[in-house]
């Protein structure tokens, strides 16, 4: 969930009202935002960087940090937030965005070479903009928030904004070998080519994360003006030549992308939110983007579409019963201008503006009805059907056995499913290659390399961490291990195991054996003797985790279901245990 920081006093000026923190929090809550923190630039610097020296000169103006829902890109800056809240409060109508046709449109031509790396581009112009320091900062912050969220850290879309009066169209979007691209990057003085640029920014705190998006490509995307001045090298950096300043009047906006839908949304969002600062508010100048096949598409789209929503269905979805006109008012407050259909009183015509790309289905409109109505005003009801409930049999058995094993004097542990390769292999005298383990591809630490194939390491770690407890320590866990299995749908399956350990001055094989006997007794499984064809028994075996001659397979109806024995001293040592232990571990799935 993105968080934006806005100056409180600017916000209240724009909203036309001063709130207490609590009042503003309530407004946020009702609208689906969260006032995350009340702070100042000074506090943020001190807290985030511990940089008291830098913080000394920082502003002490109050800043509200507000959490914005991840799909509401139109709320990612002060301008958008204020408009949406004022509309929500019914103070203004949603703005209408209009195109202003210039004498000659700006043209951006897409070269076919871009198909190799970043095939899409869109563009727009904002005319006669007046920037103040605050609105300029907001403009830069908005681009950053969009880059971090919908643009997926610039992989899907990269935004470039330029002072149009410093450059000359038509513009050309190309992909060239990095050595051939030469320009002075934003806020630098020295000209670099594409290769040098990668080295130059390799350690840059913010920019280094974007380098891998194109670094290894044979060609880099680049936008030139008519005089071969570089506007930008997306998705890394703009040129210094065309940079925006407080004096900039006319802004050229380009977005290059690997996802055209998102590029259109980003462009719409920027022009909708910042056309507020144009001399003629909410007007945008369209650009012609020449596609590789020669066709021309006009951007931004700024499409307003009308959805027909059934009053009956909307009411039924939420569980309310409001007249059509009331629903229309509520939706208009949610930035969706709505009228009751002239011919059909059960139908609403809902206008979805270019700021609300999150609305893709009628259910998104229903949600806005519910928010405008107030979630906490909706009448409580209960689903009117009955069902005879059923437990999942394996979980039911697990619950019953947990009680029984605890009653037998063993204390329950809850250990981690993820562990290191060594935990299940080396420390147990096993080879990892020989185990049917599921391996994690992107573990951040050793603790998350594999999914456990046995419950034993978790119990041994619990024993070590509780060495101060008096002996004997008797622990158990009934939980899942995961085994790679080609026959399973995803190539791996869970197995529910019961594992118990006895830790005492002597190993006490008979203690865990006694527990096994008790569990079998409560499962009505007999000890198999002589010629009986059903039941459980122990079958001597050797296992490097166990002491030689003190290890057996747990057999059930002649199949191996687990292992029991005295743990090998080298295993105890590997887990830092100095007391002998005996252990039993077996699957309980055959008993469901």
Q: Please state the separation of Cα 492 from the chain's center in Å.
A: 26
Structure tokens at 32: 């689906």
Q: How far is the CB of 350 from other proteins (least distance, A)?
A: 13
Residue among 409 and 535 whose Cβ is closer to other proteins = 409
Residue among 219 and 437 whose Cβ is closer to other proteins = 437
Count of CB atoms within 10 A of residue 120's CB? 22
Environment class of residue 103 by beta-carbon count within 10 Å: exposed (0-12), middle (13-18) or buried (19+)?
exposed
Q: How far is the CB of 349 from other proteins (least distance, A)?
A: 16
**Are 376 and 337 spatial neighbours (Cβ–Cβ below 8 Å)?**
no
Q: How far is the CB of 552 from other proteins (least distance, A)?
A: 24
Q: How far is the CB of 413 from other proteins (least distance, A)?
A: 7
Residue among 151 and 167 whose Cβ is closer to other proteins = 151
Q: How far is the CB of 406 from other proteins (least distance, A)?
A: 4
Q: How far is the CB of 491 from other proteins (least distance, A)?
A: 3
Residue among 9 and 447 whose Cβ is closer to other proteins = 447
Residue among 388 and 434 whose Cβ is closer to other proteins = 388
Residue among 412 and 542 whose Cβ is closer to other proteins = 412
Q: Which of 585, 581, 563 is nearest to 464 (CA)?
A: 581
Q: How far is the CB of 34 from other proteins (least distance, A)?
A: 7
Q: Residue 98's beta-bridge partner residues?
A: 283
Residue among 285 and 423 whose Cβ is closer to other proteins = 423
Q: How far is the CB of 150 from other proteins (least distance, A)?
A: 9
Count of CB atoms within 10 A of residue 178's CB? 20
Distance, CA of 62 to CA of 505 (rounded, Å) = 64
- Look at strands 98-99 and 283-290 and give their pairing: parallel
Residue among 5 and 69 whose Cβ is closer to other proteins = 69
Q: Residue 553's beta-bridge partner residues?
A: 539, 563
Structure tokens at 490: 């995803």
Close Cβ partners of 8 (under 8 Å, ≥ 6 residues apart): 38, 61, 62, 63, 64
Residue among 284 and 370 whose Cβ is closer to other proteins = 370
Beta strands in 504-543, from DSSP E residues, in sequence order? 536-540
Residue among 202 and 488 whose Cβ is closer to other proteins = 488
Burial profile 459-493: b = 16 or more Cβ within 10 angstroms, e = fewer? bbbbbeeeeeeeebbbbbbbbbbbbbeeeeeeeeb
DSSP 8-state assignment for residue 278: B
Distance, CA of 81 to CA of 104 (rounded, Å) = 34
Residue among 10 and 500 whose Cβ is closer to other proteins = 500
Environment class of residue 586 by beta-carbon count within 10 Å: exposed (0-12), middle (13-18) or buried (19+)?
buried
Residue among 35 and 58 whose Cβ is closer to other proteins = 35
DSSP 8-state assignment for residue 9: H
DSSP 8-state assignment for residue 410: P
Q: How far is the CB of 318 from other proteins (least distance, A)?
A: 5
Q: How far is the CB of 479 from other proteins (least distance, A)?
A: 9
Q: How far is the CB of 492 from other proteins (least distance, A)?
A: 4
Q: How far is the CB of 497 from other proteins (least distance, A)?
A: 11
Residue among 403 and 542 whose Cβ is closer to other proteins = 403
Radius of gyration, alpha carbons of the chain: 33
Q: How far is the CB of 335 from other proteins (least distance, A)?
A: 14
Close Cβ partners of 444 (under 8 Å, ≥ 6 residues apart): none
Distance, CA of 70 to CA of 273 (rounded, Å) = 17
Q: Residue 308's beta-bridge partner residues?
A: 349
Q: Which of 7, 4, 16 is nearest to 90 (CA)?
A: 16
**Are 94 and 332 spatial neighbours (Cβ–Cβ below 8 Å)?**
yes
Q: Which long-range contacts (CB under 8 A, 24 or more apart) does 310-314 make?
A: 310/346, 310/347, 310/348, 311/340, 311/345, 311/346, 311/347, 311/348, 312/346, 313/362, 313/366, 314/348, 314/362, 314/365, 314/366, 314/369
């Amino acid at each position: 969930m993105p968080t934006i920081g806005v100056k409180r006093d600017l916000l209240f000026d724009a909203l036309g009202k001063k709130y207490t923190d609590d009042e503003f929090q309530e407004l946020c809550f009702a609208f689906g935002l969260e006032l995350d923190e009340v702070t100042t630039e000074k506090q943020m610097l001190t807290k985030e960087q511990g940089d008291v020296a830098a913080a000394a000169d920082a502003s002490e103006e109050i800043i509200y940090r507000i959490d914005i829902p991840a799909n509401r890109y139109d709320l990612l800056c002060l301008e958008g937030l204020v408009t949406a809240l004022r509309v929500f409060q019914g103070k203004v109508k949603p703005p209408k965005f209009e195109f202003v046709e210039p004498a000659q449109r700006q043209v951006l031509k897409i070269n076919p070479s871009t198909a190799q790396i970043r095939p899409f581009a869109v563009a727009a112009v904002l005319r006669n903009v007046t920037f103040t320091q605050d609105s300029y900062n907001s403009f830069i912050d908005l681009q950053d928030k969009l880059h971090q969220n919908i643009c997926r850290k610039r992989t899907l879309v990269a935004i470039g904004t330029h002072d149009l009066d410093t450059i000359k169209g038509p513009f050309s979007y190309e992909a060239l070998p990095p050595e051939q691209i030469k320009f002075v990057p934003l806020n630098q003085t020295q000209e670099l080519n594409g290769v040098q640029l990668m080295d130059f920014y390799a350690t840059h705190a913010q920019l280094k994360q974007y380098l891998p998006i194109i670094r290894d490509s044979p060609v880099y995307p680049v936008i030139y003006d008519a005089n071969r001045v570089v506007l930008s090298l997306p998705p890394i950096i703009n040129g210094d030549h065309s940079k925006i300043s407080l004096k900039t009047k006319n802004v050229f906006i380009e977005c290059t992308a690997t996802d055209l839908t998102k590029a259109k949304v980003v462009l719409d969002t920027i022009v909708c939110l910042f056309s507020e600062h144009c001399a003629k508010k909410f007007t945008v100048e369209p650009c012609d983007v020449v596609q590789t096949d020669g066709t021309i598409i006009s951007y931004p789209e700024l499409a307003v579409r009308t959805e027909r929503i059934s009053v009956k269905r909307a009411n039924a979805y939420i569980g309310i019963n409001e007249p059509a006109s009331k629903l229309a008012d509520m939706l208009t407050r949610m930035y969706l201008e709505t009228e009751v259909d002239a011919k059909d009183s059960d139908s609403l015509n809902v206008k979805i503006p270019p700021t609300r790309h999150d609305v893709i289905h009628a259910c998104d409109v229903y949600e806005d009805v519910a928010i405008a109505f107030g979630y906490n005003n909706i009448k409580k009801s209960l689903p009117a059907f009955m069902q005879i409930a059923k437990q999942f049999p394996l979980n039911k058995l697990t619950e019953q056995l947990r009680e029984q094993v605890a009653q037998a004097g063993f204390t329950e542990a809850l250990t981690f499913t993820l562990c290191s390769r060594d935990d299940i292999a080396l420390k147990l005298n096993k080879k990892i290659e020989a185990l049917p383990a599921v391996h994690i591809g992107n573990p951040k630490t050793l603790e998350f390399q594999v999914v456990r194939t046995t419950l034993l390491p978790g119990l041994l770690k619990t024993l070590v961490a509780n060495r101060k407890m008096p002996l004997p320590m008797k622990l158990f866990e009934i939980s899942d291990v995961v085994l790679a299995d080609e026959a399973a749908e995803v190539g791996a399956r869970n197995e529910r195991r019961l594992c118990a350990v006895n830790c005492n001055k002597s190993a006490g094989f008979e203690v865990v054996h006694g527990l096994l006997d008790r569990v079998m007794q409560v499962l009505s499984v007999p000890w198999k003797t002589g010629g009986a064809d059903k039941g459980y028994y122990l079958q001597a075996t050797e296992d490097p985790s166990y002491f030689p001659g003190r290890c057996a397979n747990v057999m059930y109806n002649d199949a191996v279901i687990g292992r029991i024995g005295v743990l090998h001293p080298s295993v105890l040592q590997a887990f830092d245990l100095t007391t002998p232990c005996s252990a039993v571990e077996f699957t309980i799935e055959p008993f469901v």
